[in-house]
Structure 1
Amino acid sequence: MKLSASEAARRTGKSVPTITRAIKSGKISAEKSGSGGYQIDPAELFRAFPAVTKHNAETPPMLESETPHLNPSETPLLQEKIGSLEAALADAKAERDEWRDQAKRLAMALPPPTSEGGVTQRQGMWARLLGKTNKA
């Protein structure tokens, strides 16, 4: 007995689009039915996705706290690592700010572009070496 995409989704706990995407990508093989749906062999379906059982469908027990209990010896090590990461971040930000300031200073020190008729005149290497100037 073959399953439709919606029945396959219900039996695996997946959504219908997930099942159809798996078929289109080749993860699951299926036959196209005359009505445009898919007919999926259960063995093929459960090869790719585990079946939902009563045990799987149950809601997992809630944790008493969202924060896991850490071994007391791990806490100082983690605090030390956090401190070193915060220091590295502060150094990176300071370096970034220094580079930004340097780029601003260099941009302000550039001479304004000279232009005649909207076209910048470029001087060749030999003209620069010989001290000649461009005249339009």
Structure 2
Amino acid sequence: MKNTYGLDHVDLKIIKILQRDGRTPNTDIARLLDVSESTVRNRIARLIEKDVIQIVAVADPFKLGLDIAASIKIHVDIQKADHVAMELEKIESLWYITLATGASTFNAEVYVRTINDLQSLLKDRIWKIDGVTHTETSVVMDYLKREYCWDF
């Protein structure tokens, strides 16, 4: 497998293990991979430092009272795309924003408590950004698959 960060098979195996459980002790990883604990500790530190991985707690937004999940396609005047991107990044409730190909310039995902909160986000924040021409919003009814392990 070709990668640009000089990752070897040990790095990739460490990542796979941590994707399943980010709390796996370094000693357990070392035993599974037949390497020293210090090797695992140093590799993880390097992967974090190079922004290859993050080790975070992933909360279930619904259990936190954020009952509305939505996907928002944001169409913009292409001449103002950089400005729109900077403004979107300031909106904390947008947890995921992508620059996309296709009809919409940006795709964003949000969790909010109520449908009124979603309406306020659109009307009072996103629609007021200079350069946004229109949006298409889809409310998520159910997650059929939601994983954080990628096959590589």
TM-score after normalising by structure 2: 0.20
Higher relative CO (Cα under 8 Å, sequence separation at least 6) belongs to 2
TM-score after normalising by structure 1: 0.22
More helix by share: 1
The structure with more radius of gyration = 1
